[in-house]
Chains A and B, each alone.
Chain A
């Protein structure tokens, strides 16, 4: 069965790097995603990675995928106060189109 797990909280200082981690259990994951949710807002797609890739970089964001350990991470370089939000890891399985979400990680950026 599928299960996506994330730690609930992360605090970093402004300007430092943030690393948000996610583990999943189903080896048939095809795409893995990171979404950002600010208070009172919807889910914003940040980036996604196909399961045959190891890394994807997009400006301040770096996604690393370790398929052997079923571990996904999102690194945010030079974290800013505007990055404070809940970050959700999500996956799609096989040819299925629906997302399975983790519980979300609340990122707090301290001045």
Chain B
């Protein structure tokens, strides 16, 4: 079974450029999460969607960050303009709704370097 698919896996970009990270959740999963991992702050939740609707975006650092989920099989996280402090690993995760448990599956991450 395909897991959560993220692209690009690695990106190096110059400060000021726009960065778009993409995610395809596991088919049938209703919830989608974007997390950021840095050495200083560990794993932080940026935003969480349920049935394509943003439920909690309190972790989005500032207006330079935006996320969309136009349909059940695709989400983007955009940074515009990017800054060196945005360098991190960005993880997308998905989970099904239902009684069976809150099992949340992660993608392999998008490793972003802003120079």
Contact = CB atoms under 8 A, between A and B. Distances in A.
Interface residues of B, number: 22
A42 B109 contact: yes
B48 A98 contact: yes
A92 interface: yes
A31 B99 CA distance: 12
A102 B43 CA distance: 8
A30 interface: yes
Majority secondary structure, B binding face:
strand
Interface residues of A, number: 21
Interface stretch (A9-17, A43-51, A61-69, A75-83): A43-51
Contacts of B42: 101-104
Nearest to A103: B42
Contacts of B55: 97
A45 B43 contact: no
A48 B106 contact: no
A99 interface: yes
A30 B104 CA distance: 14
B43 A88 contact: yes
B46 to A, nearest CB: 10
B104 to A, nearest CB: 6
User: Which A-B residue pairs are the 4 nearest by beta carbons?
Assistant: A43-B106, A101-B43, A42-B108, A42-B106
Interface of A: 30-31, 33, 35, 41-45, 48, 50, 88, 92, 97-104
